[in-house]
Structure 1
């Protein structure tokens, strides 16, 4: 039995800056001031930017959304129902002493099928934040 292992390039600072720029550009077209956070696969901050006009809490929500998407390897938009009463993760937000946030706007970043980080966007409506983050991930080469 032969197994082949291959390395996947990690999310770089240049990648993170590209994600921030793409998400901010999408938000700007929509006229929304946002904050954008990019984390690497270990949950470490690679890039962060909050527009001058973005509400202050947008910085915190973008970071928590990115962290949640990373830890659960799923877009936060897909997890909203899971934390409602009776949902699979109903008690998860209070069971952990970690900054999870189950609001749309966090999206995991994959390369060659492997999780390499996550992006979170805060400042718009949840569906807008999700669209900005998703469009940024699609633009990452």
Structure 2
């Protein structure tokens, strides 16, 4: 995605906000707790993902961000790679900021594809390999998950597991 395309997308969002009062619709201000990522939700999800990682023999770092890509909680399992901390954070940022999994982005960012080179934007925080997933509540994106520490396949599997188990987490809280 080049600067002109990014600028066009930003302009469209700003125009929509100007015309409707927000990015969500006329006067929409969501204060509903189920539509917000909370520390309680983030930690409950991390606990489940860590349990699955242990079953798989993976020592992971698990990060949960809010819908703006800001970290809510990050936990490192004993023995996790030091580098996995920033990678997990950046996977959660990537999924939140682009509203897509990093696995899906990996295909769109290959040479000749529409998002080729996107990993060089946002101060290098965009991750173009699996392990990041969008988290939703009632069809609304409320945050994102980033997992790092295993192979790319294991991270992708753990993040997908986290996305699915998040439905149970929010049902209990």
Alpha-carbon distance in 2 for matches of 1:80, 1:42: 21
Q: Which digits, 9 at most, give the CA deviation of each residue in 1:14-56, with x for residues without a partner?
A: 1000111111111000011000110011222111011121111
In structure 1, the gaps of 5 or more residues are none
* TM superposition score normalised by structure 2: 0.74
Alpha-carbon distance in 1 for matches of 2:162, 2:44: 8
SS in 1 for 2:47: helix
- Alpha carbon RMSD of aligned pairs, Å? 1.8
1:2-81 equivalent positions in 2, closer than 5 A:
7=30, 8=32, 9-81=35-107
Name the count of aligned residue pairs: 139
Residue pair 1:35, 1:123 contacting (<8 A) in 2 also = yes
SS in 2 for 1:22: helix
Residue pair 2:70, 2:93 contacting (<8 A) in 1 also = no
In structure 2, the gaps of 5 or more residues are 1-25
* TM superposition score normalised by structure 1: 0.90
